[in-house]
């Protein structure tokens, strides 16, 4: 099993450009999450999907949109990137209830 996979691993954007971060899990988990981590900080939840067909805002949703494409895939879109969105983005999944989250390797995004 690959666990949680994320693409791309690295990305550089110019201010105002858009992009979609992809995440997939093969553990048949119901819940999926998108976090961002700024240098020296803990993770902050952007959006989560408790189950297929549902999405909810987390702590820092502004500037982002998400799509739960199916049970396996959960994408994060930046419509108009800003330098403040420079960060490492992590996707995670868990069985229902948020316990024992499994994380992907992260996407390092730089917005210039």
Task: For another protein, give the closer residue by CB, 7 or 80.
Answer: 7
Task: For another protein, give the closer residue by CB, 5 or 75.
Answer: 5
Task: For another protein, give the closer residue by CB, 14 or 42.
Answer: 42
| DSSP one-letter code for 73 | B
Helix, coil or strand: residue 84: helix
- Measure the CA–CA gap between 60 and 73, rounded to whole angstroms: 21
- Hey, CA dihedral for 27, 33, 21, 66, is it positive or negative? positive
User: Is residue 68 within 8 Å of residue 74, measured between CB atoms?
Assistant: yes
State the residues that interact with another protein by CB under 8 A. Answer: 4, 31, 33, 40-45, 48, 50, 56, 58-59, 90, 92, 97-106
**Shortest Cβ 1–another protein spacing (Å):** 15
Task: For another protein, give the closer residue by CB, 56 or 79.
Answer: 56
**Shortest Cβ 70–another protein spacing (Å):** 19
**Shortest Cβ 17–another protein spacing (Å):** 25
Order of strands across the sheet with 19-25? 4-7, 19-25, 74-78, 64-68
**Shortest Cβ 15–another protein spacing (Å):** 26
């Amino acid at each position: 099993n690959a666990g949680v996979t994320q693409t791309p691993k690295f990305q550089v954007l110019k201010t105002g450009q858009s992009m979609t971060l992809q995440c997939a899990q093969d553990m048949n988990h119901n819940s999926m999450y998108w976090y961002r981590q700024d240098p020296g900080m803990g993770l902050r939840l952007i959006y989560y999907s408790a189950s297929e067909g549902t999405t909810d805002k987390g702590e820092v949703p502004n500037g982002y949109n998400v799509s739960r494409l199916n049970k396996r895939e959960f994408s994060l879109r930046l419509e108009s990137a800003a330098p403040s969105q420079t960060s490492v983005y992590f996707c995670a999944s868990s069985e229902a209830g948020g316990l024992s989250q499994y994380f992907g390797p992260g996407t390092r995004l730089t917005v210039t």
